Amino acid sequence: MSMLKTFLTKNSFQTKKIGENLAKGILANQIKKSSKRALILGLIGDLGGGKTTFLQGFAKGLGIKSRITSPTFIIMKRLKIKNCKLKIKNLYHIDCYRIRNHREILDLGFRKIISNPQNVIAIEWADKIKKILPKNSIILNFEFINKKQRKIILKNSLLNLVLEKTSKR
């Protein structure tokens, strides 16, 4: 049985919307309820594939008002989630594009961050830190098709469930 879900988007709005739906699905289904660790999204794929764009929608879906950008010099940024009813308190946006070694991520306190169930961690270029990326991370692959089209492939059975529920609403 395949555990892949594929989306073809025609503009950045559609890509953002998938991110937003995923966030809402995660909150609605409270996947995290039983989890003792952080939820991790590993975003991989083409340069300009839409990873940051997707995360803008994802942050919006979590109720975050501040804007997600492509960090030029910053590897990691924490965005607070204000809704006190939620178990999730922080979104960490990590971009591994510029790192040379996974040590650089460990040095930022990665182990502690991923062990806290109040955190959601979105990691762009997650394939650069394969060695330290937890096995249960949700992997999203972004493919550049042409100027306007992107293919997004989600790998995780749990995730399929969430998205099916949100799309039915």
Ligand X SMILES: Nc1ncnc2c1ncn2[C@@H]1O[C@H](COP(=O)(O)OP(=O)(O)OP(=O)(O)O)[C@@H](O)[C@H]1O
What residues contact 115, with CB distance under 8 A and at least 6 apart?
A: 37, 38
CB of 75 to ligand X, least distance (A): 12
- Tell me the residue nearest to ligand X as measured from the CB: 50
Which 44-63 residues touch ligand X, going by CB under 6 A? 47-53
For residue 92, state whether it binds ligand X (rule: CB under 6 A).
no
- Tell me the residue nearest to Mg ion as measured from the CB: 52
Question: DSSP string spanning 51-67?
Answer: HHHHHHHHHHHTT--SP
Phi, psi of 92 (to 5 degrees): -100, 125
Residue 50 contact, options Mg ion, ligand X, none, Cβ 5-8 Å cut-off depending on partner type? ligand X
Of 7, 12, 31, 160, the residue at the interface with ligand X (CB under 6 A) is: 12
The dihedral of CA 83, 86, 88, 93: what is its sign? negative
Nearer residue to ligand X within complex by CB, 58 or 110: 58
Specify whether the CB–CB gap between 93 and 55 falls below 8 A: yes
What residues contact 42, with CB distance under 8 A and at least 6 apart?
A: 123, 126, 127, 133, 137, 138, 139, 140
Binding mask 63-82 for Mg ion (x = CB under 5 A): -------x------------
Nearer residue to ligand X within complex by CB, 66 or 70: 70
CB of 82 to ligand X, least distance (A): 25
Distance of CA 110 to the CA centre of its chain: 16
For residue 124, state whether it binds ligand X (rule: CB under 6 A).
yes
Residues that bind Mg ion (CB under 5 A): 51-52, 70, 124
